[in-house]
Structure 1
Amino acid sequence: METEILDSASVVATRYWHKLDDGRVQCDVCPRYCKLHEGQRGLCFVRGNHKGQIVLTTYGRSSGYCVDPIEKKPLNHFLPGTPILSFGTAGCNLACKFCQNWDISKSRELDTLMDQASPETIARAARDLDCRSVAYTYNDPVIFLEYAIDVARACRKLGIKSVAVTAGYMCEEPRREFYQYMDAANVDLKAFTEEFYWKVTGAHLQPVLDTLKYLKHETKVWLELTTLLIPGLNDSEKEIEEMTQWVVENLGPDVPMHFTAFHPDWKMRDIPATPVATLIRSRKIAMKNGVRYAYTGNVHNEEGDSTYCHHCGAKLIGRDWYNMTAWNLDAEGKCKACGTACAGVFEDRPGDWGARRLPVRLANFAA
């Protein structure tokens, strides 16, 4: 189904909404179910009621494009070492007080959207820049669903993979459509208590858990998880125990988990940065509970960056930040020491992009 353009190229019709008896229109993309009068926008700011229907107001516009290492998403088991063309728009459907990308996700100024590109232009740029994939990131692709899907379709025609970096906070029907076009996802499991989700993000835990189970059991999307550990809020041993046990019991031992460090930002500038010891402890708890691939992030810790064989303990992929220092997988993605398969999506050899970050203007790739 082609996206219908309305009053301008950046305002397009959407599908997931319905009219209410009181004249308002309800958005059904995420569990916020924003109920809007004419002219109002949802909490995400980019979806609103325009002439009696929910529209997306930022189609084709971006806060910027950049080629990153795929490990920065973070994805450690999906095409390691390869470059990924990354972009986002503006707005977000969560209200995280600790947001690390608040200048983009909390933006209420469309001037944030400095660049623009059609789905076909993005796909061409990824191909010409030798990117194996495109990431929908910086803010949550759930809120620019229609644009992300159209980009993913264009990418698929050129053999380019699609990666969603998301909080996983969406409803069942749009979730089913969205993930038809995604090849990998990193989902932020922000905590493992309803209290944290409600008080700190303005959302709920259960819809995120539902998304995780859906991805693992009803799709072929490669899945990794990230939890930003905030001192005193979601970093207790008890919570990490419960979270990692749930992951192994409900998603299995092969879903990688990334425990990353918080730094003071947005509305949480009074909380100190996460100690490295907290990340290391959480990684050990995860592995004790059966998580085969657990990582530390946002800190320099080569052991916590690297991938090890869960059977013999050999180092499979050595990493120093985003630079690869060792590769001990065979052409079939198995440990060269003992032959045990490493879970993931691998090619015969890894990429060599390293830690480079390359901002790009897509006007140079327009037809």
Structure 2
Amino acid sequence: MGSSSGAAGGSMLACGVCPHGCRLHEGSFGICGARTVRSGKVASLSYGQATSLALDPVEKKPFARFHPGSMILSYGSYGCNLRCSFCQNSDISMVDAAGSLPTYFMSPENLIERAIELRAQGNIGVAFTYNEPFIAPEYLMDAARRARGEGLASAAVTNGYVAKPVWDEALSHLDALNIDLKCFSEEGYRLLGAPGGLAVVKRSIETALEAGVHVEVTTLVVPGFSDDEELFERECAWIASLDPSTPLHISRFFPAYRMIGAQPTPPAVLGLFQSIAKRYLAHVYLGNV
């Protein structure tokens, strides 16, 4: 992977899309592997570079209470600004622009044209998903603006580790968010390479709810990482303090990426966490079971 720092290539510029604030020069990559400096400006390398495009049930994102029973055109690219050892999509999230992952260009106009074509199959709009969409916010917002102009919904599935100005601007273009709350401790986020991550993601959830965007939260229960009962109860209480009707998805971990030798989340743990969540929240769902 390319470095986010180095002496070669002229002056350094700070990327402002996430809290990492990577300092970049011509030809280097940020932590996400998808941003660099071109012609003296920080630019997205993954703009419109599609790795995945599929018409999915909206529940698969997952959204349980946003147009249930509908379909949504799901777009994914590559790269991510976190480094989760348990990543469930590492084949696209943990690669960078120098990799050999096949991509094809899908302009915002073409994406929305495809979404319109799929209306007859129940499509309600577009979802930016599969990898972290906010490492290419330019594309997300360009496509979401066009979607709204055509009466289509826009949704994003994100880790929420996004710089406040970028997040706040995007909220005016999005109809729904599923935000991954990886754990409920700053120590946990430091292990993911995201200093201050819990505070940032909490702020993202709070401001999205305040903006009137439909928000659902997902927590992947990873053995040894996010399976602490006390911390999970604090998480549920905190979400309830914002809005107890916020849907929470409790997702089962399966061995992946750097945790390929681990065991899946025991069903009993999922059941326990579901019972804890239901004490605080009106809408609790189990995923990957």
Tell me the TM-score normalized by structure 2.
Answer: 0.92
Distance 2:139 2:79 in 1: 14
Spell out the pairing of 1:94-133 with structure 2 (5 A cutoff): 94-108=82-96, 109=98, 111-130=100-119, 131-133=123-125
Give the match for residue 191 of structure 1.
Answer: 183
Question: Which whole-Å deviations, capped at 9, do the CAs of 1:238-289 have from their partners, x for residues lacking one?
Answer: 111111111111x21010000000011111123210112211211110111x
More helix by share: 2
Give the match for residue 282 of structure 1.
Answer: 273
User: CA shift at 1:110, angstroms?
Assistant: 5.3
Q: Does 1:294 find its partner at 2:287?
A: no
Give the CA RMSD over aligned residues. 1.4
Which sections of structure 2, spanning at least 5 residues, go unmatched? Answer: 1-9
Give the match for residue 145 of structure 1.
Answer: 137
Q: Secondary structure at the match of 1:42?
A: coil
Q: Secondary structure at the match of 1:264?
A: coil
Q: Does 1:212 find its partner at 2:205?
A: yes
User: CA shift at 1:37, angstroms?
Assistant: 2.6
Q: Is the 8 A contact 2:36 2:43 kept in 1?
A: yes
Percent same amino acid among aligned pairs? 39
Q: Is the 8 A contact 1:163 1:182 kept in 2?
A: yes
User: CA shift at 1:216, angstroms?
Assistant: 1.1
Q: Secondary structure at the match of 2:257?
A: coil
Q: Is the 8 A contact 2:20 2:194 kept in 1?
A: no
Give the match for residue 224 of structure 2.
Answer: 232
Q: Is the 8 A contact 2:141 2:173 kept in 1?
A: yes
Distance 2:243 2:177 in 1: 16
Q: Does 1:40 find its partner at 2:28?
A: yes
Distance 1:176 1:240 in 2: 27
Q: Is the 8 A contact 2:209 2:215 kept in 1?
A: yes
User: CA shift at 1:114, angstroms?
Assistant: 2.6
Distance 1:82 1:264 in 2: 30
Distance 2:54 2:180 in 1: 21
Q: Is the 8 A contact 1:168 1:211 kept in 2?
A: yes
User: CA shift at 1:201, angstroms?
Assistant: 4.6
Q: Is the 8 A contact 1:64 1:113 kept in 2?
A: no
Q: Is the 8 A contact 1:185 1:222 kept in 2?
A: yes
Q: Secondary structure at the match of 2:237?
A: helix
Could you list the structure 1 runs, at least 4 aligned residues long, displaced by more than 3 angstroms after superposition.
200-203
Distance 1:226 1:277, change over 3 A: same
Distance 1:273 1:143 in 2: 29
Output the amino acid matched with 1:53: K
Output the amino acid matched with 2:62: P
Give the match for residue 68 of structure 1.
Answer: 56
Spell out the pairing of 1:293-312 with structure 2 (5 A cutoff): 293-299=283-289
Distance 1:286 1:26 in 2: 40
Match of 2:262 among 271, 275, 286: 271
* Higher relative contact order structure (alpha carbons within 8 Å, sequence separation ≥ 6): 1
Tell me the TM-score normalized by structure 1.
Answer: 0.73
Give the match for residue 262 of structure 1.
Answer: 253
Output the amino acid matched with 2:167: R
Output the amino acid matched with 2:47: Y
Give the match for residue 333 of structure 1.
Answer: none
Distance 1:24 1:120 in 2: 33
Question: Which whole-Å deviations, capped at 9, do the CAs of 1:290-329 have from their partners, x for residues lacking one?
Answer: 2000111000xxxxxxxxxxxxxxxxxxxxxxxxxxxxxx
Question: Which whole-Å deviations, capped at 9, do the CAs of 1:132-165 have from their partners, x for residues lacking one?
Answer: 0211000111111111111111111211100010
Distance 2:16 2:159 in 1: 16
User: CA shift at 1:52, angstroms?
Assistant: 2.2
Match of 1:156 among 148, 151, 165: 148
User: CA shift at 1:113, angstroms?
Assistant: 4.2
Give the match for residue 15 of structure 2.
Answer: 27
